[in-house]
A and B are shown apart, each in its own frame.
Chain A
Amino acid sequence: MAEIRCPNCGKNNPDVLDVCQFCQTPLKPESVLRIGQTPTKKNTGELESVLPDWLKDVRQQARDSAEADAAAQAAAQSRSQKSEPPDLLAGLASQTGSGDDEDVPDWLASINPTAKPKPSTPSTPEPSTDFFSQFDSGESKPEAVSEPSQTDAPSWMDDLREQSPPPAEKDELSAWFSQASEQPEEIVELDSDVQQSDSGWASNLGSVSTSAEKPAPKEEEDLSWLHNLEAAAKQTGDLQSPKQDVDWKANFEMPSMPSPSASSQEDLSWLDNLGGIEEPSQPVPQQPSTPQDDLSWLNKFGGTEEPSQPSQPAAPQEDLGWLNNLGAISEPQPSAATPNQPIPSQPFASEEDLGWLNKLGRAPEPSQPSSALTSGTSVEGAQEKPASSEDLSWLNNLGGIPESLQSSEAQKDLSWLNSLGGESEPLSTPPFGGAPIEGSSPRQTAPLNKEHQQETEPDWLKSAIQPPSMPAPGDLSMDWFAGTEQVADEKPVAATTQPTPFETNIASTPSESSTLSNQDVDSLFSVEMPDWLSRPETGATESASQQAGVPPAEIDESLSPVDLPSWVQAMRPVEAVISETRSSVADQPTETEGPLAGLQGVIPIAPIGSSRRPKAVSLKLQASDEQQASAALLEQILGSETSPRALITSSFVASQQWLRWALAGLLLIVLSTIIFLRSQTIPVSASLPLEVGNVSNAVMSIPAGAKVLVVIDYEPALAGEMEAASGSLLDQIVLLSHPNLSFISTSPNGAALVERLLSNTKINQPAPDGFGYQAGAQYLNLGYLPGGSAGILGFIEVPGRINSSANVQSFSEYSALVILSDHAESGRAWVEQLQNQKQNDLALTNQPLLMVASAQAGPLLQPYVSSGQITGMVSGLSDAARYEFVNNSRPGIARNYWDAFGIGLIISIALMIVGGLWSLFTGIRERRTEAKQG
């Protein structure tokens, strides 16, 4: 191989490579695939040599495994192609495998001459090795060996083949075999386990040695030997009757005899012996070492002990009648069947008796006695046969066919096949009915209870014909609600009728029969049925009786009453409906054809357009008048929720506006006129209240030129009242004492009201109208005192510390304290803080505290006056006017307001009285109107 040197690493690479195997560098310029280029296709097989060794090994292993898998798959495929019923002899084929060829007798191996091929030869498809495939007419059909042991065909088989006549003519046996071969071929495999277990008995055979056989002729075997056997049988006429007492064992020795015929011609005399037919004696190769009693044990299976027989010249007499006995009814065998006596062959050749085949596939008969459950019984039953008469009848029992039936139905009785098709036509005799069979019973799943013998239908079929518990959806009849009494009563009636598979029995069968049927079902399937399936329907009668008013079932039924669940009972219609819809089943005709043949009343007769038609139901909602009214009301309420509610308040708002305007105008006009006219018509009382007299007395005690503290704690809104009330007091104090006034306020606006007060009271007016007080000289405005109570406390304790403008060192230097307040809190705070300080400072004990309060604060400060904490108090305009009157009507502010004040009060009182009465009257009238409307 040419090499290419890598341009990158410099190492040599095979020329078939495109890239360097060391550095993956492209070796060829053309190997580099560029964008847009199409890669060139190369044969990957050329690269086989450049593959690494490990990859080659893997590929080789894969090939080998693939081949092996293919061979196995082919063998399995051929095996799986057959879907016929399991080959009963399949287990025998596997026994010949596992390499222990010496233990497998030849005759056993010869049973499945077409054994499966070896795995080493996967190319060869594994031929069918079932029993039936042996009978295939294709002579050229290869026969594979299933087990290595089977490859060595027994010598006796070879002798048989040699001795067997050439299968030249196509006889009936061939035809029968061809028919049998139509069935799916099945490989008969001998289980290795069975092979091992049978090694013991196989050794007894002795004479059969398979090891000496050659596999080559085995593979070349075909069914020609069977044909030869058939021909030989015909010659001898042994096919007419089965041989009962045949030393078939001797026939097995016959293969030891050399057969002059060709190897392809097989001696099937052993097959005759299986069926009790003595094969025609043919020179068969005899095993030199074959013991004489090697196959006698097989007779024991059939309940006959046949002495070991040497090779018998009965080969010519061999026939295939035994084949009939395999599946056919066992014919009464002769009591004494001597060895070598040709077994009368059954008319197989002429009549193609394939009844035994029928028996093989026939279902177990329910009418069979109960002793047919186990296969052992069949064997035992076979043992009961007379030894001479039924040597191989056990083979017949393999098919589960009672002997009593074999005689009558041996003739092409394939009716069972018909029954499998489930024909509905009533049979003259049930498929599986009949007289109870006594005696030995083959393997069959017959019910244990013999009472079931009388029943005609099989159990497995009975479940199909058993009517459902619930009626059909279209069944309008309520008959199925009927009590079970009638159902049970009518059951015997139904039992006498023609049993049909589609008998619609609504009610269940009685418990007893149901138990039997369930047992049959159980025995049929040989499985443990669940309780719910096998439990008899108990209490069905009781539930039916509890259904009140349920009309009795009108149709015939044989089922036991059903215990209806509660929800089903709740769905029951009303009795009236039931009564209406109930139809007389007896009046209705009986069906004669179709699946409902024999039934009555399943589908009620409802003539077209008759009254039975269900009533038309109106789609409109049926609502009463009351319900409709309620619905309308609800709709109205819901509609009102979304609609806005109209507010009718215009009249109310207008009357309020005019009234207010009227009141305001009246008061304004009247009072303004009175003030403007300076009317003083309303007299002022000269008697002073007590607290007002105390004020006057306190003012009289203030020394001249003393310091008086005046606290202004009112708002500008009440300045008019306060100025009118305090004017006369301050005027008297100034007039009598000429004190130094100090004004302080605990509100921010108080400091601004000092000048207004002094101006209105004409204190700071120049003489002769006022007292000519000067700011800073005669009076001081200390301003605003913050902190509320804390500030008052601090000022009382140390006035100069809190307010540096104060010209006193202690609060006791003030001769009097005059508090002008329009709210009780301020006065209370001053009173409380001052009272506390008076306890500490005795000089404050005689300090008068004069209070000038508005009419609204006076009542709240009255307790302090009553307690003596306040020396005197002037409350409101009335006290001020009186005080001013006593003071020679100085300054006259209160007197000016007095008339207007009086008139205003009178008007207010009048309005309150008149208006109240009017409102009372109108209110009562409105409430009466609303009450009448409501």
Chain B
Amino acid sequence: MRIFTAAFAIAAGFIVLLGYFFPDQLEALRLLLIDWAIIIAGMAVLVGIFNLVAVQMEKIRARQKGGTYAVILILALILTFGLGLILGPDHPYMRLAMDAIIMPVEASLMAILAVTLIYASIRLLRRRVDVVSVLFLVVAVIFLILTAPTPFGPILGDSGNQAIINFLGMFSSGGARGLLIGIALGTLLTGLRVLFGIDRPYGGN
């Protein structure tokens, strides 16, 4: 069984890859396999939801800590899912649920993040006083000062601010490119390992 799964996965990967080089011969098969991947990915969302329900149900059955929240979660899930299936996602009630519950909750969490970051920056020098922490804090303050709108306008003027932003952006851009290249290379290596059967994320190792 393990050999079958590995063989199928490797074959599918090679077909999709070769489909780019041989579109006339493998275009249709590649598109078919991609369609199947999209469908399976869509079903994976439902599987995730089902797993969530199962975990919460187990928590409720075992009377673990947080079982009450698990009950609320499952009830809300069932209600929202049911109403969505019945009314449709564009129904005003569904919008009400989105606008009145989901959006405020997540927005509040992001606001707390802002307070937490300010508090962390304030206590940074109390926990550790070293060059890196001081430099980080100094750079952050400078950047905020340069970009923060003031009633008086940009502190260094538009050109000055822009120059400083471009200067600081140079470092950020370089770092960002490095990250992107690394991500790309990692993605390529992971694909090759899956194609060669070295890694089997689908199981059967």
Q: How far is the CA of A790 from the CA of B115 in the complex (A)?
A: 38
Task: Determine how close the nearest CB of chain B comes to the CB of A799; give it in whole angstroms.
Answer: 12
Q: Mark B14-58, 1 if CB is under 8 A from A, else 0.
A: 000000000100000001001101110110110000000000000
A859 interface residue per 8 A CB criterion? yes
Q: Mark A899-934, 1 if CB is under 8 A from B, else 0.
A: 101100110110111011111101110000000000
Q: Which residues of B contact A786 (CB under 8 A)?
A: 38-39, 41-42, 44-45
Q: Which residues of B contact A878 (CB under 8 A)?
A: 147, 149
**Interface SS of chain A:** helix
Q: How far is the CA of A715 from the CA of B98 in the complex (A)?
A: 12
B162 near A751 (CB under 8 angstroms)? no
B169 near A862 (CB under 8 angstroms)? yes
Contact of A909 (CB < 8 Å), options: B42, B44, B145: B145
Known contacts being A788-B41, A790-B37, A919-B125, is A905 close to B154, with CB within 8 Å? no
Q: How far is the CA of A794 from the CA of B172 in the complex (A)?
A: 33
Chain A residue, CB-CB nearest to B126: A919
Contact of B144 (CB < 8 Å), options: A788, A840, A909: A909
B193 interface residue per 8 A CB criterion? no
A577 interface residue per 8 A CB criterion? no
B94 interface residue per 8 A CB criterion? yes
Q: Which residues of A contact B62 (CB under 8 A)?
A: none
Q: Which residues of A contact B137 (CB under 8 A)?
A: 912, 916
Chain B residue, CB-CB nearest to A755: B95
A797 interface residue per 8 A CB criterion? yes
B148 interface residue per 8 A CB criterion? yes
Task: Determine how close the nearest CB of chain A comes to the CB of B159; give it in whole angstroms.
Answer: 9
Q: Which residues of A contact B148 (CB under 8 A)?
A: 902, 905-906, 909
Q: How far is the CA of A787 from the CA of B31 in the complex (A)?
A: 13
Q: Mark B104-140, 1 if CB is under 8 A from A, else 0.
A: 0011011010111011011111110100000001001
A660 near B169 (CB under 8 angstroms)? no
Chain A residue, CB-CB nearest to B101: A716
A915 near B115 (CB under 8 angstroms)? no
B141 interface residue per 8 A CB criterion? yes
B31 near A797 (CB under 8 angstroms)? yes
Q: Mark A715-743, 1 if CB is under 8 A from B, else 0.
A: 11111100000000000000000000000
B66 interface residue per 8 A CB criterion? no
Task: Determine how close the nearest CB of chain B comes to the CB of A271; give it in whole angstroms.
Answer: 114
Q: Which of A752, A881, A898, A913 has the largest number of chain B CB atoms within 10 A?
A: A752
Contact of A716 (CB < 8 Å), options: B107, B144, B153, B173: B107
Q: Which residues of B contact A791 (CB under 8 A)?
A: 38, 41
A756 near B99 (CB under 8 angstroms)? yes
A906 near B150 (CB under 8 angstroms)? yes
Chain B residue, CB-CB nearest to A655: B123
B121 near A660 (CB under 8 angstroms)? no
A667 near B149 (CB under 8 angstroms)? no
A683 near B179 (CB under 8 angstroms)? no
B103 near A862 (CB under 8 angstroms)? no
A629 interface residue per 8 A CB criterion? no
B149 near A919 (CB under 8 angstroms)? no
B38 near A828 (CB under 8 angstroms)? no
Contact of B151 (CB < 8 Å), options: A682, A720, A901, A918: A682
Q: How far is the CA of A667 from the CA of B123 in the complex (A)?
A: 18
Contact of A687 (CB < 8 Å), options: B118, B147, B158: B158
Chain B residue, CB-CB nearest to A689: B162
Contact of A667 (CB < 8 Å), options: B31, B41, B115: B115
A647 interface residue per 8 A CB criterion? no
B180 interface residue per 8 A CB criterion? yes
Task: Please classify how large the interface on chain B is, using the bins under 10, 10 to 19, 20 to 34, 35 or more.
Answer: 35 or more
Chain A 578-630 interface residues, beta-carbon cutoff 8 Å to B: none
Known contacts being A775-B90, A786-B41, A919-B123, is A909 close to B141, with CB within 8 Å? yes
Known contacts being A660-B119, A683-B149, A786-B45, is A781 close to B90, with CB within 8 Å? yes
Q: Which residues of A contact B150 (CB under 8 A)?
A: 682, 902, 906
Please, how many residues of chain A have a CB less than 8 angstroms from a CB on the other chain?
Answer: 71
Q: How far is the CA of A909 from the CA of B110 in the complex (A)?
A: 18
A289 interface residue per 8 A CB criterion? no
A717 near B107 (CB under 8 angstroms)? yes
B106 near A717 (CB under 8 angstroms)? yes
Chain A 804-842 interface residues, beta-carbon cutoff 8 Å to B: 828, 840
A205 interface residue per 8 A CB criterion? no
B89 interface residue per 8 A CB criterion? yes
A12 interface residue per 8 A CB criterion? no
Q: Mark B178-189, 1 if CB is under 8 A from A, else 0.
A: 011001000000
Q: How far is the CA of A898 from the CA of B154 in the complex (A)?
A: 13
Known contacts being A862-B176, A919-B124, A919-B125, is A685 close to B158, with CB within 8 Å? yes
Chain A 448-473 interface residues, beta-carbon cutoff 8 Å to B: none
Task: Determine how close the nearest CB of chain B comes to the CB of A200; give it in whole angstroms.
Answer: 104
A859 near B35 (CB under 8 angstroms)? no
Q: Which residues of A contact B42 (CB under 8 A)?
A: 784, 786-787
Q: Which residues of B contact A756 (CB under 8 A)?
A: 95, 98-99, 103
B41 near A664 (CB under 8 angstroms)? no
A912 near B176 (CB under 8 angstroms)? no
A860 near B179 (CB under 8 angstroms)? yes
Q: Which residues of B contact A908 (CB under 8 A)?
A: 114, 118, 144
Q: Which residues of A contact B121 (CB under 8 A)?
A: 911-912, 915-916
A90 interface residue per 8 A CB criterion? no
A706 interface residue per 8 A CB criterion? no
Q: How far is the CA of A372 from the CA of B127 in the complex (A)?
A: 110
Q: Which residues of B contact A720 (CB under 8 A)?
A: 107
Task: Determine how close the nearest CB of chain B comes to the CB of A160; give it in whole angstroms.
Answer: 119
Q: Which residues of A contact B176 (CB under 8 A)?
A: 859-863
Contact of B173 (CB < 8 Å), options: A681, A684, A775, A862: A862
B129 near A923 (CB under 8 angstroms)? yes
A398 interface residue per 8 A CB criterion? no
B158 near A923 (CB under 8 angstroms)? no
Q: Which residues of B contact A911 (CB under 8 A)?
A: 118, 121-122
A915 near B37 (CB under 8 angstroms)? no
A843 interface residue per 8 A CB criterion? no
A920 near B129 (CB under 8 angstroms)? yes
Contact of A790 (CB < 8 Å), options: B41, B122, B123, B162: B41
B102 interface residue per 8 A CB criterion? yes
A705 interface residue per 8 A CB criterion? no
Chain A residue, CB-CB nearest to B116: A660
Q: Which residues of A contact B99 (CB under 8 A)?
A: 756
Task: Determine how close the nearest CB of chain A comes to the CB of B141; give it in whole angstroms.
Answer: 6
Chain A residue, CB-CB nearest to B157: A685
A752 near B98 (CB under 8 angstroms)? yes
A19 interface residue per 8 A CB criterion? no
B106 near A715 (CB under 8 angstroms)? yes
Q: Which residues of A contact B44 (CB under 8 A)?
A: 786
Contact of A659 (CB < 8 Å), options: B109, B119, B153: B119
Contact of A915 (CB < 8 Å), options: B34, B35, B95, B122: B122
Q: Which residues of A contact B115 (CB under 8 A)?
A: 660, 663-664, 667
Q: Which residues of A contact B110 (CB under 8 A)?
A: 717-718
Known contacts being A751-B89, A859-B172, is A920 close to B126, with CB within 8 Å? yes
B114 near A719 (CB under 8 angstroms)? no
Q: Which residues of B contact A749 (CB under 8 A)?
A: 102
B interface with A by C-beta (< 8 Å): 23, 31, 34-35, 37-39, 41-42, 44-45, 89-90, 94-95, 98-99, 102-103, 106-107, 109-110, 112, 114-116, 118-119, 121-127, 129, 137, 140-141, 144-145, 147-151, 153-154, 158, 162, 169, 172-173, 176-177, 179-180, 183
Q: Return 27 A-B CB contacts under 8 Å, by A number.
A: A656-B119, A659-B119, A663-B118, A687-B158, A717-B106, A717-B107, A786-B42, A786-B44, A791-B38, A797-B31, A801-B31, A828-B183, A859-B169, A860-B176, A860-B180, A878-B147, A881-B149, A898-B149, A902-B150, A908-B144, A909-B144, A909-B148, A912-B140, A915-B123, A916-B121, A919-B125, A922-B126
Closest 6 CB pairs of A and B: A915-B122, A902-B149, A905-B148, A717-B106, A919-B126, A787-B38
Q: Known pairs A685-B154, A802-B35, A919-B125. 9 more at Cβ < 8 A?
A: A659-B122, A660-B115, A660-B119, A717-B107, A781-B90, A801-B31, A802-B38, A912-B141, A913-B141
